[in-house]
Amino acid sequence: MYMSIKEIVEASKETGKSLSQLMIEQEMEVTGASKEEVLEGMRNHLHTMQQAADQSVEGEGVHSPTGLSGGDAIKMLKYRQKGKTLSDDRMLKAVQDALGTNEVNAAMGVICATPTAGASGTIPGVLFSVAETLDLDEEQQIRFLLTSALFGMVVANNAMIAGAVGGCQAEVGSASAMAAAAAVEAAGGTAEQSSHAFSTALGNLLGLVCDPVAGLVEVPCVKRNAVGAGNALIAADMALAGIENIIPADETIEAMRKIGRQMPQELRETGLGGTAATPTGIRLREQILGQTEPLTDD
């Protein structure tokens, strides 16, 4: 099993195999599954992601039971349709699907945790935008997910992917980096460029805290997925342009791990700090949960 990004890049260079192919072969070796079974499993994940993104822009969109989130994906779709946006439309397509997937999650719908439910919109947002830009067929989209999973596996094994352990840098940060690496390969970039995109994207979000209002994965989580998607596309384009990241990917992962360990509990999904502790955050907690004080482990 690959334990570092450096090892993955070197394997790709030595064998001439794509990153997604390396992931397929590793899954076959570790699980004993056939290539067809590996691809079929990821195909199911792809379909789940597509269904969530589609659901988010049906009718008036989806809304959470709390009322904290919902309807923003449909707003973004209508805004895009006006044709007078400040950002490129493909960027906003990524934002739309990132928002929408997380809105479905908050509304108790079915999503694919990539790598977590709280970060479930970032990778689909990037994937579906890139798929339109590059006209990717289904197998190419599946390979995008396999490449993102390969990089995500290294993060999970060497650091963390849970906000409760390492803050939102571990969730949206890792998802953004995974998506950036996969986007580079989908665009024909090298494994080395994927590594630089990964490191740039993760480095951009180091220190991002996890501060959910009322302890719910809605505010500011949903909109952070949109930022993660945009960050991934920017990092991928930088890498494809030949812009390298000075800090290697594995060192960036280690930096994220150390930062996560240094974060106080108030900033690790407890709802005790950050935006959750603002006057509005406290009022919303009281309104939704009927609590005057946040829950603690004491």
pLDDT of 294: 53
CA–CA–CA angle 187, 190, 196 (5° rounding) = 95
* pLDDT tens figures, 80-117: 999 999 999 999 999 999 999 999 999 999 999 999 99
**Prediction pTM value:** 0.96
Do 181 and 146 meet the contact criterion of CB atoms below 8 Å apart? no
Is the pLDDT reported for residue 13 higher than 60? Answer: yes
pLDDT of 266: 98
* pLDDT tens figures, 149-189: 999 999 999 999 999 999 999 999 999 999 999 999 999 99
pLDDT of 249: 98
pLDDT of 291: 66
| 196 in any annotated domain | yes
* pLDDT tens figures, 32-78: 999 999 999 999 999 999 999 999 999 999 999 999 999 999 999 99
Instruction: List all residues 6 or more positions away from 222 whose beta carbon is below 8 Å from its beta carbon.
Output: 69, 72, 99, 102, 103, 106, 121
Mean pLDDT across the chain, nearest whole number?
97
Is the pLDDT reported for residue 143 higher than 80? Answer: yes
Full residue range of the structural domain in which residue 132 is found: 5-288
Q: How many residues does the chain have?
A: 298
* pLDDT tens figures, 243-282: 999 999 999 999 999 999 999 999 999 999 999 999 999 9
- Average pLDDT, stretch 115-123? 97
pLDDT of 298: 41
Instruction: List all residues 6 or more positions away from 101 whose beta carbon is below 8 Å from its beta carbon.
Output: 49, 52, 53, 56, 111, 120, 121, 124, 125, 225
Into how many domains does the chain fold?
A: 1
| 233 in any annotated domain | yes
| 297 in any annotated domain | no
pLDDT of 297: 45
Q: Using H for helix, E for strand and C for coil, what is the string for the chain?
A: CCCCHHHHHHHHHHHCCCHHHHHHHHHHHHHCCCHHHHHHHHHHHHHHHHHHHHHCCCCCCCECCCCCCECHHHHHHHHHHCCCCCCCHHHHHHHHHHHHHHHHHHCCCCCCCCCCCCCCCHHHHHHHHHHHHHCCCHHHHHHHHHHHHHHHHHHHHHCCCCHHHHCHHHHHHHHHHHHHHHHHHHCCCCHHHHHHHHHHHHHHCCCCCECCHHHCCCCCHHHHHHHHHHHHHHHHHHHHCCCCCCCCHHHHHHHHHHHHHHCCHHHECCCCCHHHHCHHHHHHHHHHHCCCCCCCCC
* pLDDT tens figures, 221-240: 999 999 999 999 999 999 99
- Tokens at residue 206, please? 């180091």
| 296 in any annotated domain | no
Is the pLDDT reported for residue 293 higher than 70? Answer: no
For residue 213, give the CATH number of its domain.
Answer: 1.10.4100
